[in-house]
Structures are given as C-alpha cells and as structure tokens.
C-alpha cells in the first residue's frame, strides 16, 4: 500500500502537471465480472514478486492462484527497471505480460511517477506514430528500459505455444507500462490479438494517445472506488 505522505506528494505534483486526457465513463463490475477478472488480478499482483520467484512461479498465493501458467522470461531490478515477466496460461489460452507497480521503498520508481511532463514517442519503439501523440515522460523512459527484452520474450512465448492472444497486466505504474506495451506490441507484432487489463492506473497520455489506443485495442481499466492514483496527473 502507498503511504499517505507519498500519495499527497503525488497530488501536489499533479496540480502543476500538463493536461492529460480525462476518462469519459465508469462502469461498475458485476459479481460475475469480478470473478472473471480474478486471474488477471493475481497476475498483476505477481508482478511485484522478484524475477527469480516469477521465473520459478513460486511467489506464494498470487502464483498459486494461476497454476497453469508457465513462465518464459522475467527481469528487472525493481529500481531502475520495474520487475516484469512473460509466460503462457494454457487455461486462458493467452500469453501474459506482467509489469510491477510503484514500490514506495525505491526512489527511482517514485521519480518516474512524478516526472509528469509529456513527450513524443520513440520512433524506433513506436514506428509510424504521429508526433502529436504524447505520453508521460517518466512512464515512457521506464517502459523503454525493458521493452526490447519484453518483446523478445513475448515472441518466444508466441512461437513456443502457438499463441494468438497476448494479455498485458499491471497495477499503478505497472498499469501504465502495460498500456504502453499495448501500443508498443501492436507496432511490433502481427497475427495476435492484444488485450490490456490494468488496476489503479494513472493517466498516461494526451487525447491523441488515447484515440490511437482506443482504435482496435481491448482495454479494461479497473479502479477501486475512489482510489486517488487513477486521477493523477490532474487535468
């Protein structure tokens, strides 16, 4: 859990942040929908575990909740590079990509969170994307540090399991990285369907970014009632 001081600190930075896109609608989940999303909730939680434990898939209850998962690769140091893992769930018939959220005990992820300036996307990672599409500078920098290794692992998983679906998950900062991965992988892969499930995700980009992602992508963003983080940075 984030400390109150940390959350209030984020709020003070948000007041002066450039305007990012406001969300347009909110839908309450039914009991059946909550049950259907449980596997992805555990996958998002598992991303907070060390790469060694997600590689062995022995991270405790979060890993045990998805027993059909087979890890292909994992990485990150939890500081300069957020933890991540890639593998395949035979029950859900999808490659899973998990990204760690903010660890308030590590300074670099906090710096990433409060680096609210917008900038254009790297043309190598996101070929063909207009310069009008901009995203949170800190999130983009964090994403770029792991992107090539994540892509290589996803390609390996697709080949090994003849997969046609890739699902990206994450909580908080991890949700932002998962959303950037949705756009990144859509520019790097063909022949697969991408789905993104995020929890407590902050705002990531401008209106052009939101419009681009909304075209042809399946994205579910789940919040817990009045969680503060999803309304940061402020509009």
**Looking at residue 224, what is its pLDDT?**
64
Alpha-carbon gap, residue 208 to 167, rounded angstroms: 23
- pLDDT tens per residue across span 114-172: 556 899 999 999 999 999 999 999 999 999 999 999 999 999 999 999 999 999 999 99
**Looking at residue 221, what is its pLDDT?**
87
Q: Is the pLDDT of residue 229 over 60?
A: no
Order of strands across the sheet with 69-75? Answer: 69-75, 84-89, 94-99, 165-171, 193-199, 218-222
Indicate the SS3 state at residue 126: coil
Q: How confident is the model at residue 227 (pLDDT cuts 50, 70, 90)?
A: very low
Alpha-carbon gap, residue 184 to 188, rounded angstroms: 6
Q: How confident is the model at residue 235 (pLDDT cuts 50, 70, 90)?
A: very low
Alpha-carbon gap, residue 99 to 172, rounded angstroms: 10
- pLDDT tens per residue across span 187-213: 999 999 999 999 999 889 999 999 999
Q: How confident is the model at residue 108 (pLDDT cuts 50, 70, 90)?
A: low
Average pLDDT over residues 95-121: 74
Measured between alpha carbons, how far is residue 206 from residues 18, 91, 120, 121 in Å? 9, 36, 10, 12
**Looking at residue 31, what is its pLDDT?**
80
Per the model's pLDDT, the better-predicted residue between 179 and 29 turns out to be: 179
Architecture of domain 53-230: 3-Layer(aba) Sandwich (3.40)
């Amino acid at each position: 859990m984030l400390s109150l001081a940390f959350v209030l600190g984020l709020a003070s930075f948000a007041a002066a942040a450039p305007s990012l896109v406001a969300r347009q609608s909110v839908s309450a989940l039914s009991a059946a929908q909550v049950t259907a999303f449980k596997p992805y909730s555990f996958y998002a939680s598992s991303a907070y575990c060390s790469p060694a434990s997600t590689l062995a898939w022995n991270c405790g209850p979060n890993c045990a909740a998805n027993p059909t998962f087979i890890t292909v690769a994992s990485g990150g140091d939890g500081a300069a590079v957020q933890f991540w893992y890639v593998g395949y769930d035979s029950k859900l018939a999808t490659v899973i990509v998990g990204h760690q959220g903010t660890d308030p005990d590590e300074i670099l992820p906090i710096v990433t969170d409060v680096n609210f300036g917008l900038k254009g996307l790297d043309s190598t990672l996101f070929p063909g994307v207009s310069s009008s599409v901009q995203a949170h500078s800190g999130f983009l920098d964090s994403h770029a540090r792991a992107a090539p290794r994540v892509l290589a692992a996803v390609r390996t998983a697709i080949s090994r399991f003849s997969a046609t679906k890739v699902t990206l998950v994450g909580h908080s900062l991890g949700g932002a990285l998962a959303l950037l991965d949705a756009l990144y992988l859509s520019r790097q892969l063909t022949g697969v369907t991408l789905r993104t499930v995020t929890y407590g995700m902050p705002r990531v980009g401008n209106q052009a970014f939101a419009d681009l992602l909304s075209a042809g992508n399946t994205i579910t963003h789940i919040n817990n009632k009045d969680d503060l983080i999803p309304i940061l940075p402020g509009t």
